[in-house]
Amino acid sequence: MLISDRLSNIKPSGVRRIFDLARQMKDPINLSIGEPDFDIPEPLKEEGIEWIRKGFNKYTPTQGIPELREKIASHLKKKGIHFDEVMVTAGVTGGLLLASLALINPGDEVIIPDPYFVMYEYQVLLMGGVPVFVDTYPDFRLREEEFVKKISKKTKFIIINSPNNPTGAIYPEEDLEMVVRIARERDLLILSDDIYDSFVFDEPSCPCIGQLYEKTLTFGGFSKGWAMTGWRLGYVAGPKEILQQMITLQQYTFSSVNSFAQKAALKALDFNMEDYIKQYKRKRDLIYEGLREKFQVQKPRGAFYIFPEVPGRNGDAFVERAIQNNLFVVPGSVFSKRNTHVRISFAASEETLLRGIEVLNRIG
């Protein structure tokens, strides 16, 4: 067999399967997509185009252009994030891959709260590591007893994603402080995926691990908050000795990051996206109010997902019924060791959401 052993546990993404199905349908009600339904704001597009025209189309420094790294550092300092070094990456997923390559030895265990973004599990498996899942059901809170049960001498680090994909939960500060206390007692690193930190609905901002703990790798990017999903631009901030190794790895993997997107990102960090985010609070309220009488559901406080438990507690079967009704959502089993929920994205027009709510209540 020509294929490497490391791919033996790797399966195609369940999310991509739903995307591919939706593309084949005429006028689908598509509530599966994990990207904003607004376009990159025109001034940011024009900034990128201008730098292309100026000829800024060559390789850039491996760690990112200096002016963007300085701007990101300033942005993070305003938020009170602890870090020594900043690098630019090919999206948050590229940053996570570099961190996994730099940190995970075969047999190392990585603690991941469940439900979780699917990439965490498979990147750990690719490195020969062992994903260890901490249950957060039914209210998607981090509980000390669950962490203590799962942490062992083999634990290498903990991954925290808040606001969370797929649940839309924002972990309260007391939950994060508990995780930091456990990590500090055991001298563990924490990886904090903050990609959805622009999408916060009921308070001015959300707490994050990087504000509380020095041994944190903070991941962020421009895909969600500024809709630059196709421009593949993220960043990582954290301890210098880890970042230096990740920069070396980037030399031998991604080489460098999209040139013109880095220049546009300089402008993006000063561009106010508040009006765009306010629209998502309205959409959150619309879908939550539309589902809460028929479904067991937690009100999401961030991101742009809602994660209801489905009647019959069989997410895969529910998704099949939805597809038969031209509605596309993602089974919770893609993001969890449970199959009781579905992930619904409300990154869609209000008209599409209303159509989706009607179908969900009819088949529920």
Output phi, psi for 200, to 5 deg: -130, 125
- Which residues, other chains included, contact 210 with Cβ-Cβ below 8 Å and sequence gap of 6+? 76, 79, 81, 82, 83, 192, 194, 216, 218, 237
Is residue 346 within 8 A of residue 306, CB to CB? The reply is yes
Assess if residue 50 is contained within a domain.
no
**Secondary element (H or E) of residue 72:** helix 66-78
Question: What are the tens digits of pLDDT across the range 75-95?
Answer: 999 999 999 999 999 999 999
67 and 210 part of one domain: yes
245 and 163 part of one domain: yes
170 and 242 part of one domain: yes
Assess if residue 305 is contained within a domain.
yes
Looking at 268, 291, 315, the residue that finishes a domain is 268
Is residue 308 within 8 A of residue 344, CB to CB? The reply is yes
Q: Let me know if 270 is exposed, middle or buried by CB neighbors in 10 A (0-12, 13-18, 19+).
A: exposed
- What pLDDT score does 12 carry? 72
Assess if residue 46 is contained within a domain.
no
Looking at 268, 287, 306, the residue that finishes a domain is 268
Candidates 322, 262, 341, 340; CA nearest to 88 is 262
In the chain, the percentage of residues whose pLDDT exceeds 70 is 96
279 and 259 part of one domain: no
| Stated pTM of the model | 0.95
- What pLDDT score does 21 carry? 66
Query: Residue 229 maps to which CATH number?
Result: 3.40.640.10
130 and 244 part of one domain: yes
DSSP 7: G
Query: Residue 299 maps to which CATH number?
Result: 3.90.1150.10
d(CA 160, CA 171): 9
Question: What are the tens digits of pLDDT across the range 284-307?
Answer: 999 999 999 999 999 999 999 999
Using the predicted structure, report yes or no on whether residue 10 has a pLDDT greater than 90.
Answer: no
DSSP 84: S
Assess if residue 297 is contained within a domain.
yes
Looking at 245, 268, 291, the residue that finishes a domain is 268
298 and 249 part of one domain: no
126 and 214 part of one domain: yes
Question: What are the tens digits of pLDDT across the range 187-232?
Answer: 999 999 999 999 999 999 999 999 999 999 999 999 999 999 999 9
Using the predicted structure, report yes or no on whether residue 170 has a pLDDT greater than 90.
Answer: yes
Assess if residue 48 is contained within a domain.
no
d(CA 57, CA 165): 33
- The per-residue DSSP string of 316-362 comes to HHHHHHHHHTTEE-EEGGGSSS--SBEEEE--S-HHHHHHHHHHHHH
d(CA 256, CA 90): 8
> For 105-134, what is the mean pLDDT?
97
121 and 75 part of one domain: yes
157 and 191 part of one domain: yes
Is residue 162 within 8 A of residue 169, CB to CB? The reply is yes
291 and 264 part of one domain: no
Name the residue range of residue 195's domain: 58-268
Assess if residue 224 is contained within a domain.
yes
d(CA 25, CA 29): 9
| Total of domains in the chain | 2
Candidates 361, 3, 63; CA nearest to 240 is 63
108 and 213 part of one domain: yes
Tokens of 23: 């593309």
171 and 189 part of one domain: yes
